[in-house]
C-alpha cells in the first residue's frame, strides 16, 4: 500500500486491530508518522469517552433507581454589565453517546457549542430555557434573579424531574435539589444546561448588537471590554444595561 492509502485507511480506523499491529513493521517515515498521529487521536478519543462516563456516573449517583429523572441546571451571564442572565434546565436520557465530548460551555469552542446545542435539544427528554432581563436583575440583585430564573426553567420542563442538580446554586423546588460546586465540569446534565444557556444568550447579545453596535455586544457578550466601555463613554447606557453594576450605577446616579 502507498503511504496515502495507509493514511486514508487509518483515518477510518476506530479501534486497534491486527492490521495496525502488522503496520508497525513498516519503516517508511511517512507511515511511522501516520501511525503516531493515529495513536494520538485514539488516546484523545478514549480520554473523551472516559470523561463522558465519569460525568454520567456523577449524575447517576443522584438517582435512587435507574428510572429516576435528573435535571441539570446552569446559567450564562451573571457577570456582564449588560444583557440578561439566561438559565437552562436539561433532563438527559440514560443513553446519549452522541454527547461524548460535552463539557462546560467555557471549555468548548463556539462551533462545538452550536453542534452540542442541536444534539441536546434533539436527544433530551426535556429542556427549558429562561431569560431574566436586566431590569429584573436590578430589581432583585444578580444572585436572586439567577436563582429565580433557574427555578422558573425547572418548573417549565414538560417532564418533571425527580431531583435537580444545579451549578453552585441552592434552589427551592418541590423535588430534592443539590448545589454542585463546579457542577458544569462534573455533571453531564449540568454541562448540557450550560451549553443551552450560553448559546441562547450569545444569540440574544448578537441581536442586541444589531440595535446597539457601538457597544460591540457581538464580541464581548456584555462584559466590560475596552470597546464596550468606550461605547458607554460616547453613547451612555441603554435599557439593557444593569443599573446596579458599575460603572453604569454611577452613570445612572449622576443622571438623577
Residue 134 has pLDDT above 90, yes or no: yes
Residues 113 and 165 in one domain: yes
The bridge status of strand 126-132 relative to strand 85-91 is antiparallel
Helix (H) or strand (E) holding 233: helix 226-235
Residues 196 and 235 in one domain: no
Q: Half-sphere exposure of residue 11, counting CA atoms within 13 Å on the CB side?
A: 6
Phi, psi of 246 (to 5 degrees): -80, 145
Residue 65 included in any domain: no
Phi, psi of 207 (to 5 degrees): -65, -40
Tell me the mean pLDDT in the region 209-216.
98
Q: Which of 60, 87, 106 is the last residue of a domain?
A: 60
- Residue pair 184/197 in contact (Cβ under 8 Å)? The answer is no
**Given this model, what pLDDT does residue 256 score?**
76
Looking at residue 171, which CATH number applies to its domain? Answer: 3.30.420.10
State how many domains the chain has.
Answer: 3
Residues 110 and 29 in one domain: no
Tell me the mean pLDDT in the region 20-48.
93
Could you tell me the residue range of the domain that residue 78 belongs to? 70-207
Report long-range pairs for 14-21 (Cβ below 8 Å, ≥24 apart).
15/42, 16/42
Q: Half-sphere exposure of residue 151, counting CA atoms within 13 Å on the CB side?
A: 14
**Given this model, what pLDDT does residue 65 score?**
78
Residue 172 included in any domain: yes
Residues 162 and 130 in one domain: yes
Residues 87 and 148 in one domain: yes
Residues 147 and 202 in one domain: yes
**Given this model, what pLDDT does residue 235 score?**
97
**Given this model, what pLDDT does residue 67 score?**
72
Identify any residues that bridge with 82 across adjacent strands, giving them in sequence order: 241
pTM over 0.85: yes
**Given this model, what pLDDT does residue 215 score?**
98
Amino acid at each position: 500500500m502507498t503511504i496515502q492509502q495507509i493514511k486514508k485507511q487509518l483515518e477510518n480506523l476506530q479501534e486497534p486491530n491486527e492490521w495496525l499491529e502488522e503496520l508497525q513493521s513498516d519503516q517508511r517515515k511517512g507511515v511511522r508518522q501516520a501511525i503516531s498521529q493515529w495513536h494520538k487521536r485514539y488516546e484523545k478519543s478514549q480520554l473523551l469517552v472516559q470523561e463522558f462516563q465519569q460525568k454520567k456516573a456523577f449524575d447517576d449517583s443522584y438517582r435512587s433507581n435507574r428510572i429516576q429523572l435528573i435535571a441539570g441546571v446552569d446559567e450564562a451571564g451573571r457577570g456582564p454589565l449588560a444583557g440578561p442572565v439566561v438559565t437552562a434546565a436539561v433532563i438527559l436520557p440514560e443513553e446519549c453517546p452522541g454527547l461524548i465530548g460535552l463539557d462546560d460551555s467555557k471549555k468548548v469552542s463556539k462551533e462545538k457549542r452550536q453542534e452540542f446545542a442541536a444534539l441536546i435539544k434533539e436527544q433530551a427528554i426535556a429542556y427549558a430555557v429562561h431569560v431574566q432581563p436586566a431590569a429584573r436583575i436590578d430589581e432583585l440583585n444578580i444572585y436572586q434573579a439567577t436563582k429565580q430564573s433557574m427555578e422558573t426553567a425547572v418548573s417549565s420542563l414538560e417532564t418533571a424531574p425527580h431531583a435537580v442538580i444545579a451549578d453552585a446554586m441552592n434552589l427551592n423546588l418541590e423535588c430534592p435539589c443539590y448545589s454542585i460546586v463546579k457542577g458544569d465540569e462534573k455533571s453531564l446534565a449540568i454541562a448540557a444546561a450550560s451549553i443551552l444557556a450560553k448559546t441562547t444568550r450569545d444569540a440574544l447579545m448578537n441581536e442586541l448588537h444589531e440595535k446597539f453596535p457601538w457597544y460591540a455586544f457581538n464580541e464581548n457578550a456584555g462584559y466590560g471590554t475596552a470597546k464596550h466601555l468606550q461605547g458607554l463613554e460616547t453613547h451612555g447606557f441603554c435599557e439593557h444595561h444593569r443599573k446596579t453594576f458599575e460603572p453604569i450605577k454611577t452613570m445612572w446616579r449622576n443622571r438623577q
